[in-house]
Amino acid sequence: MPETWSTSTLIAAGRRQTGPLFTLSMLAVAGWVVCITLGAIVRPEPEVHRTALVFHLAAMVVSLSGVLAVDIRGFLWMAGVRPVHAALRMESFVTPLIWGGLLVLMVSGIFLEPSLDTIPTLAKLVAVLGLILNGIWLVPFKERLRAMGRDAPFLAFTPWFRQQLLLRFAASQLCWWTAVMVGFVSAAKH
C-alpha cells in the first residue's frame, strides 16, 4: 500500500471532508424531521393513502435492491472473489436509484399515517435516519477506494479502514432490514 494512504493520512483527509458531510447530514436530519412532522399532521384520503403505499413499496424495492447489489459486490471484494472496481462500478450506477428511492420513501411515508406513538414505528424511523446518515458518511470511504485503483485488495487497506468499512456495511444492512421488517409488520396490521 502506498505510504500516502497510511491511517494518519486517511484520518486527515476525512477531517477535511467533515464540514460538507456535517452540513449534508444536518440537511438530511431536517428533511427527516419535516417528513415525520408532516406525517403526524396529514390525514390523507384512502385513495391517496393507497397510492402513497404503492410508491412507498416500489421505492423500497428499488432502494433496497440497489443497496444489496452494492453490498454483495463489496462483500465479494472483501472476500477476495471480485475486484473493488466491480463494486464501485455498480455503486456508481445504482446510487441515484438508492437516493431517489429514499426520497420517495420519505415523501410517500408522510401519507401513510405513521403511528408515532409506537416503539416499532419509532424504531423504523430511527433506522431510516441511520441508513441515510450512514450513506452520507460512506462517501469518503468510497472516494478512498476509487483512489486506490481498480484492483486494490481489501487487505491492502489499514486495519482501521477495513474495520470502519465493515462497520458501515453492517450498519447499512441492520438499518435497512429493521426498517423493512417493521414496515411489513406494521402494514400487515392495517
Mean pLDDT (10-residue bins), the chain, 190 residues: 48 64 95 96 96 96 95 93 91 95 96 91 95 94 87 91 94 95 80
Residue 112 grid cell: 401513510
Residue 9 grid cell: 493520512
Structural domain boundaries of the chain?
3-189
Q: pTM above the 0.75 mark?
A: yes
Number of H helices, E strands in the chain: 6, 0
Supply the pLDDT for residue 19: 83
Supply the pLDDT for residue 18: 73
